[in-house]
């Protein structure tokens, strides 16, 4: 085979190899574009799925919070009812206690006053009888005319005066005792009146309602790039030049031998 034939064959093989490389690059480009599209679609689907899962989880948490809020609200209402029941029951106890204290005071005060009146009446009647007896004795002495009448009358008057002094002292003692008894009755009344106090209700704050969750945003798909498609004209020219160069090199090499 001549050098020219070898040169043409070598150049043709180089040209063919270049075009085959172009075909491989073109197929790789098609594959890269398809992979990019599939990757973008998967990334978009995955972002939507993650956002959907986040929304579902948030809704479930919100539902749990709503259930807890309802339970807390029911607990607060129940506790308020309990506190109100305690306050009503204690108010009834206070009313009965104070009414009983008032009734006991009136009874004790009436008894103290009645005792003072009875003792004062008894003392007055005793003094009345003393005066009456003295007057009868003085009249009898004057009528009889026996002994020193003036001296006897003065003695009778002194006895009445002494009895009156004792009566006045007893009245003073009774009045002082009456004041002390009344003060004691008032003190007992106040102690019994204040022995029961109204119940102070405990305050319970309303629970805070949960806030609805904000829908999750779908995450942006990160950008991906694929190089430009291989040029057929550039591949043809490159393969032609490569084949021509290879053929010339082969021809020169064979001619030199």
Question: DSSP assignment, residue 147?
Answer: S
Instruction: Please state, as a whole number, how many other Cβ atoms lie within 10 Å of the Cβ of residue 93.
Output: 15
Q: How confident is the model at residue 232 (pLDDT cuts 50, 70, 90)?
A: low
Asked whether residue 206 is domain-assigned, the answer is no
Asked whether residue 22 is domain-assigned, the answer is yes
Cα torsion angle, 143, 146, 152, 154, sign = positive
> What is the chain's mean pLDDT, rounded?
75
Q: Is the pLDDT of residue 40 over 90?
A: no
The Cβ-side half-sphere exposure at 25, using a 13 Å CA radius, reads 14
> Lowest-confidence range among 34-48, 76-90, 143-157, 170-184?
143-157
User: Once rounded to an integer, what is the mean pLDDT over residues 8-28?
Assistant: 63
> Lowest-confidence range among 63-72, 112-121, 161-170?
161-170
Total domains, the chain: 1
Question: What is the rounded distance in angstroms from the CA atom of residue 237 to the CA atom of residue 221?
Answer: 39
Q: How confident is the model at residue 144 (pLDDT cuts 50, 70, 90)?
A: low
3-state helix, strand, coil in the chain (%, to 5): 80, 0, 20
Asked whether residue 128 is domain-assigned, the answer is yes
Domain range holding 140?
3-195+232-256
Asked whether residue 34 is domain-assigned, the answer is yes
> Lowest-confidence range among 18-22, 79-83, 93-97, 134-138?
18-22
Asked whether residue 213 is domain-assigned, the answer is no
Choose between 159 and 115: higher pLDDT: 115
> Lowest-confidence range among 47-56, 158-167, 218-227?
218-227
Q: What local confidence, expressed as pLDDT, does residue 50 receive?
A: 83
> Lowest-confidence range among 26-35, 182-191, 205-214?
26-35
């Amino acid at each position: 085979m001549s050098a020219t034939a070898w040169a043409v064959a070598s150049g043709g093989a180089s040209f063919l190899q270049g075009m085959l490389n172009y075909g491989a690059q073109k197929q790789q480009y098609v594959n890269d574009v398809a992979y990019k599209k599939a990757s973008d679609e998967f990334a978009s689907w995955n972002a939507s799925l993650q956002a959907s899962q986040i929304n579902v989880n948030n809704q479930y948490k919100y539902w749990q919070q709503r259930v807890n809020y309802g339970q807390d609200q029911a607990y607060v209402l129940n506790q308020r009812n309990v506190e109100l029941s305690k306050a009503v029951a204690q108010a009834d106890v206070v009313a009965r206690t104070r009414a009983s204290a008032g009734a006991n005071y009136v009874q004790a005060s009436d008894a103290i006053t009645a005792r003072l009146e009875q003792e004062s009446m008894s003392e007055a009647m005793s003094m009345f009888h003393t005066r009456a007896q003295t007057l009868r004795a003085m009249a009898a002495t004057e009528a009889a005319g026996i002994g020193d009448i003036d001296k006897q009358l003065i003695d009778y008057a002194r006895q009445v005066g002494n009895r009156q002094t004792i009566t006045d002292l007893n009245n003073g003692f009774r009045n002082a005792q009456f004041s002390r008894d009344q003060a004691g009755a008032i003190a007992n009344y106040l102690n019994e009146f204040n022995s029961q106090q109204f119940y102070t209700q405990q305050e319970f704050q309303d629970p805070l309602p949960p806030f609805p969750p904000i829908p999750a945003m779908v995450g942006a798909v990160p950008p991906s790039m694929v190089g430009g498609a291989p040029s057929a004209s550039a591949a043809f020219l490159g393969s032609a030049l490569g084949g021509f160069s290879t053929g010339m090199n082969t021809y020169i090499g064979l001619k030199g031998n």
